Amino acid sequence: MSVSGETDYSQPAKTQWYDRKNYVFVEFCVEDSKDVDVTIEKFRLVFSCKSADNLELYNNIELYSKVEPNDSRHKRSDRSITLFMRKVDGKKAWPRLTKEKTKNAWLVVDFDNWRDWHDDDQQMIDLEHYSNMLKDLKDTGPPPTMDDLDFETLVVSCTPAELKITVNGKKETLKGFDVILEDTLLFPEGGGQPDDRGLMNDIPVLRVTRHGPEAIHFVQSTLEPLSIVQLKIDWERRFDHMQQHSGQHLITAIADLMFGFKTTSWELGRQRSFIELDTPSVTGEQVEALELAVNEKIREHIPVNVRVVTVDDPEVEKVRGRGLPDDHAGPVRIIDIVGIDANMCCGTHVSNLSHLQAIKILGTDKGKKNKTNLIFLAGNRVLKYAERSYTVERALTTLLKNGPEEHVEAVDKLQKSVKLLQKNNLSLLRDLALLTANSFRSDPNKGKLLVLHRKDGDNEFMNIIANEVSAEVVLLFLTVGDEKGAGLFLLAGQVDAVEALGSKVSQILDGKGAGKRGRYQGKANKMSKRTEVEALLQQYVSSLDTKEE
């Protein structure tokens, strides 16, 4: 849009807008969109262009509420500019932006506030800053897919179901319902990528699986068939998966191009991911070269396109992939990293390699069947990894009282010192065990029951004592470990006595043990119950004395 005239820089522009829960759509109709630059800020839109005499001009429109610039986009045609602005407060409805009752959905904007930035020195500084910003401005890419917009769909079926999960290492079974929808935003697990999470009418979706062509959503509240529901996706989880999956495609393609390493499988983990390469080894130099190459492609801002073709299209035979699933029906989806790779894939991906931010290859592990696992991070995971690493580095610097470059040497010295101390400690424990046994044997008042606890002992400490004195007593009960926590126990003595009491002792201590002719030992989870065991053993020994009398 070129502006002419010496003093009148006004240019009318009609604008249509539409308010949704999470986004506002705005379309400006102008004379020539290629001459207008658009910047989306937190509380305003900034438009800029040049006048006929080459003056930098701009106008801005104040927004009703705050938006997120990084998650907003714009696209343009010859005579229009369409903006997609994500609201920060998705629950807040924006009011109509016009008072014209006959045009409730329209806003008429007069560009009569174009300001000439050549009036004073400060404005010249602002002009230079803004001009530099415009020079650095790159194509913002296609508009976002709006996956987290209000998405309404129909409940096809809702049937009782169970979901097995693991919480803190323990397996649990949840009661709930499997819901099939007419359509869905949520990706079911498959192709090495975990499933999405989200909300269905504010009910958490805990798992999404695929059964044939259907996506099965597990929720813990029933929904009426044929009812309308609203879906909302967990965008942070989805975007993380997009970054890791597109990162895998890129690494796979470059590893094949550079070294001929074929990818045989991959896994998107919670903290890090790995690619299984069909090669027995990958050198450190190859890892470094691969990492440099993939990050160079990220900096080149290469588009990632999605194409859908028919299953009998000749292109299906040309693209990379491990073949279609046996139950596949319908079209074939191809992920195309322009000029680098085309691959059949059902997963979610970024629309441009620049959205990956960076890729860090952490190293390699030996894989199955003469293969190598390449471990990597992409996108925000790289930033989080750097943050965690720096936090650990600072903590070690404080503890070791030296610089990061000296941490390894200092820890190595500490480990050697600890091993020496442990060796000396074991030697002292053995000596102490022998002294304890000799002291008991020489005690003229020793009884038929010996009970002993030592916090810093071990299995060897207990066994040395048992070897020395078990023949002189009816029962020997030894424990080591924290008195209020877990530890180890050993019951030794006469075979009949140990066989009669071993399992009872283990049960009292909430532990597990095993017996072998005169010995029963194992782990105790409740060392605080030792006094109950001692009372049981004392009662047993007393009963033997009564029988003898």
Give the count of beta carbons closer than 10 Å to the beta carbon of residue 81. Answer: 23
Cα gap 104→98, rounded to integer Å: 7
Pairing status of strand 449-454 against strand 475-481: parallel
Cβ burial, residue 303 (10 Å; 0-12/13-18/19+): middle
Contact predicate 427/452, CB 8 Å? no
Q: In terms of Cα–Cα distance, which of 290, 320, 305 is closest to 352?
A: 305
Q: In terms of Cα–Cα distance, which of 509, 449, 439, 500 is closest to 479?
A: 509
Give the count of beta carbons closer than 10 Å to the beta carbon of residue 60. Answer: 15
Cα gap 412→401, rounded to integer Å: 15
DSSP characters over 29-53: E-S-GGG-EEEE-SSEEEEEEEBTT
Contact predicate 195/209, CB 8 Å? yes
Residues with Cβ < 8 Å from 420, sequence gap 6 or more? none
Contact predicate 161/218, CB 8 Å? yes
Give the count of beta carbons closer than 10 Å to the beta carbon of residue 189. Answer: 16
DSSP percent split of the chain into helix, strand, coil, nearest 5: 35, 35, 35
Cα gap 40→152, rounded to integer Å: 28
Q: In terms of Cα–Cα distance, which of 78, 83, 2 is closest to 39?
A: 83
Contact predicate 193/187, CB 8 Å? yes
**Could you read off the pLDDT of 324-335 as tens digits, one per residue?**
666 666 688 889
Q: What is the pLDDT of residue 379?
A: 94
> What's the count of helices (H) and strands (E) in the chain, helices before strands?
8, 27
Which residue stretches of 401-525 are H helix? Answer: 407-441, 459-469, 495-508
Q: What is the pLDDT of residue 297?
A: 96
> Domains (ranges, CATH) in the chain?
12-136 (2.60.40.790), 151-233 (2.40.30.130), 238-386 (3.30.980.10), 431-548 (3.10.310.40)
H or E element that contains 241: helix 235-259
Give the count of beta carbons closer than 10 Å to the beta carbon of residue 245. Answer: 24
One digit per residue, the tens of pLDDT, for the chain of length 549 reads 333 333 444 445 666 677 777 778 777 776 666 777 888 888 888 877 766 666 666 677 778 788 888 878 877 776 678 888 888 887 777 765 543 444 333 344 544 434 333 344 544 444 454 344 434 434 444 444 444 445 889 999 999 999 999 888 889 999 999 999 999 999 998 778 899 999 999 999 999 999 888 899 999 999 999 999 999 999 999 999 999 999 999 999 999 999 999 999 999 999 999 999 999 999 999 999 999 999 999 999 999 998 888 777 777 766 766 666 666 666 888 899 999 999 888 899 999 999 999 999 999 999 999 999 999 999 999 999 999 999 999 999 999 988 888 999 999 999 999 999 888 888 888 888 888 888 888 888 888 888 899 888 888 888 888 888 888 888 899 999 988 888 999 999 888 888 889 889 999 998 888 888 888 988 999 888 888 999 999 888 888 766 665
CA 281 centroid distance within chain: 28
Torsions phi, psi for 542 (to 5 deg): -65, -40
